[in-house]
Amino acid sequence: MITSVMTIRQQLIQNIEELPGEVLPELANFIHYLHFKSQFRKPPPAPVTSNNFLLAIAGLGSCEEDDLSERDEEILAKEINPLSGWTLKPEESQ
């Protein structure tokens, strides 16, 4: 792994040295973007085994909102038409 990373690094340096000077600002912008993007990269998930199965499925039903139970009535009021009841799409009840 280390050898391949060093080989790739050497190839990149050689390729950069061969680039014309006018494209270097674009290359610098792209490298800046890659640094930014790498900050948000998540580590690969651990393989599911019998030991960590429950941990693997723990977040399957997660939601960005912290507590939906506080808004349940508001959510249901938007989804249920008082005359026709619940429908898959709001336009079906009209």
Mind listing the pLDDT tens digit for each residue in 72-94?
Answer: 788 777 777 777 776 666 555 44
Give mean pLDDT, residues 28-32.
Answer: 91
User: pTM of the entire structure?
Assistant: 0.39
CB 30 within 8 A of CB 37: no
| Residue 80: closest CA among 91, 94, 90 | 90
